[in-house]
Chains A and B, each alone.
Chain A
Amino acid sequence: MIGIDWYLALSAVLFIIGVIGVLIRRNAIVILMCVELMLNSVNISLIAFASHHGDITGQVLVFFVLAVAAAEAVIGLAIILAIFRNNLSIDITKVNLLRW
């Protein structure tokens, strides 16, 4: 039987892949997918902790995270659509009108 720590390590690895993806990619859609990956990796941690504690709270939180992730995806894609209409590109390095 695999211990909880392996699930947690897997979750940390996936989270870091997501973070690095957000920071290095330039395509807004891929960045959004990396954010989804981050949320998803946290879900693994939550469910692993819930299993460890024999408690349902973690699973309920995962349920809410799924709802939030869906909402974020919808809003994010709508914003990307609006950006595309203005710029004909979803490359975030070309979205730089506002600079201090």
Chain B
Amino acid sequence: MDYLYDLNTFIPATIAAAAGLVVLMQSVYKVKINTIFGVTVFSLVVALLFALRDLFGPVGTSFYDMVAYGGTAAFGTLLVITGTLFCVLISRDYLEAIDHHYGEVYAMILFATTGMVGLAVSNDLIMLFVGLETMSICLYVLAGLIKEEKTGAESALKYFLLGAFSTGFLLYGIALIYGATGSTNYADITALTDISPLFMAGSALLLVGFFFKISAVPFHMWTPDVYQGTPTTLTAYFATASKAATFVALILVMSRMMPEIEGVGWTQAISVIAIITMILGNLIALVQDNVKRMLAYSSIAHAGYLLVGLAAGTADGYTGVLYYLFAYTVMNIGAFGVIAFYERNQALDFTDVNNYAGLGYKQPVMAVLLSVFLFSLAGIPPFVGFLAKYYVFAAAVNAGHITLAVVGVLTTAASVYYYLRVMVFMYFREPHKEFDLVNPGAIFKYALIVLCVLTVYYGVEPVFPMGSLIELLTSYYTETGPAGMAGP
């Protein structure tokens, strides 16, 4: 094994880890917080460039088959790094406003990113476990950042207890799979020809662990509480980067690890989970007055839409899920970002939708941005959210899961209500009292504008540098993709 070559395939995560250590030492020596912020952003930009390079690079495995590179794994890395970069960009002013702005936060974010990349590129159950736990440990800490307030400590406790509990199930699943196959490597497991009940029990427990992490419905109880108690920009990080990493890992498990034998793909089970997740997530979101809780339930609903593509189990489906994850990352960080901006104004409690009355005419740019992100989340045509839903549902229909697509479209229609409700308050209601909004700040504003441009651009004409994004994703599953994934 050539270590340098292998390290080259894992460079974005290496940069994140090294930057995390640097930031940690800087905060020990009381370096100015703006310098720390700059180092974090710079390292993430460099990591992003390497992730973009890997997108078009070769496909394979490195570090003794522990991690995969290229293809789906490279796109997962790109999603995680993009999500992290934008969350960091919108975090600075918000964390300053809530008086929790110190260097260790950036160190934890960078360490979590390392874990997420490790999770998203894992090619072995051991790597999957260690990556997932590195991510989770950092997220528990970030959830408890506002520890002086009861809600902050409480959201950390809930997240931690349920997360650790689900880790137990995930680990038991890994143990049973190892017992049935004698290996933890995806390539060895997928070569299996004889399926024992032990393997089925193991993969079921593994999936339960995954469902906890992506907050699919019977396992979603922690999501709204955690999202509400966590600082808003970090909630955006939880909802996008960590979910993207977990979903990419799930795609790798489903497409590379599960043996290609009838009934092993868990299509039925995932379909049922997808349906109840879409219905319940959207229904409960309808009655929420707290904007953060509304977005938490909406993120549960989006997990349902993502599971639709996964249930399809075809190359189309996986491509759709990857595209959806990209769309979801962009528009959700945007939505949380604008809400974080409103929260910075101490005049009113801007987590309550009733206080959004009349906001549309103060800082009109921010109001327009929020409208764009919410339209996109609702899946309304000229934005990226629409195309993403289209790809996922089309894949489900092509794979013969008509019910899934129908439920998906119907719940999407229902979801328009609670997204538009925020806009109705913003533009058509009179404010309760007079107040002025603070200045958003240049970095904050331009980060959101870039997200908005991405939302519109990929919704109108999905052209990626060097060919369209969807074509690039599809190529992962045709020419150089995982074995046996001969898609269209």
Interface residues of A (CB under 8 A from B): 8, 15, 18-19, 22, 28, 31-32, 35, 38-39, 42, 45-46, 48-49, 52-53, 55, 57-58, 60-61, 64-65, 68, 71-72, 75-76, 79-80, 82-83, 85-87, 92, 95, 97-98, 100
Contacts and interface: CB of A to CB of B under 8 A. Distances in A.
B367 to A, nearest CB: 27
Nearest to B127: A64
Given A8-B179, A38-B172, A92-B161, 4 more contacts: A39-B168, A58-B175, A76-B164, A98-B224
A100 B160 CA distance: 19
A42 B229 CA distance: 32
9 pairs of A and B residues whose beta carbons are closest in the complex: A38-B168, A49-B179, A98-B225, A82-B147, A53-B182, A82-B153, A45-B175, A35-B164, A68-B133
A98 B147 contact: no
A64 B156 contact: no
B157 A57 contact: no
Given A35-B164, A100-B293, A80 B157 contact: yes
A31 B165 CA distance: 9
B157 to A, nearest CB: 5
B184 interface: yes
Nearest to B172: A42
Nearest to A100: B224
Interface string B137-155: 1001100100111110111
B284 A79 contact: no
Contacts of A49: 175, 178-179, 182
A100 B157 CA distance: 17
B293 A58 contact: no
Given A35-B165, A75-B141, A46 B178 contact: yes
Contact of B184 (A48, A61, A80): A61
B168 A42 contact: yes
Contact of B157 (A18, A35, A60, A95): A95
Contacts of A45: 172, 175-176, 179
B267 interface: no
Nearest to A74: B137
14 contacts: A39-B168, A52-B179, A57-B126, A58-B175, A61-B174, A61-B175, A64-B130, A65-B171, A68-B130, A82-B156, A83-B157, A95-B157, A98-B225, A100-B288
Contacts of B154: 83, 86, 95, 97-98
A13 to B, nearest CB: 13
**Is chain B's interface secondary structure helix, strand, loop, or mixed overall?**
helix
A28 B162 CA distance: 12
Nearest to B176: A45
Contacts of A58: 175, 178
B154 to A, nearest CB: 5
The residue in A15, A53, A55, A65 that gathers the most chain B C-beta atoms within 10 A of its C-beta is A65
B161 A55 contact: no
Nearest to B177: A49
B168 to A, nearest CB: 4
The residue in B168, B174, B228 that gathers the most chain A C-beta atoms within 10 A of its C-beta is B168
A75 B133 contact: no
Contacts of B228: 98
Contact of B168 (A15, A28, A86): A15
A82 B164 contact: no
B219 interface: no
Nearest to B229: A98
A55 B180 CA distance: 13
A5 B418 CA distance: 53
B129 interface: yes
Contact of A98 (B137, B151, B171, B284): B151
Nearest to A99: B225
A82 B144 contact: yes
A68 B141 CA distance: 15
Contacts of B229: 98
Contacts of B165: 19, 22, 35, 38
A66 B176 CA distance: 18
B155 A61 contact: no
A19 B168 contact: yes
Contacts of A52: 179
A23 to B, nearest CB: 9
B183 A57 contact: yes
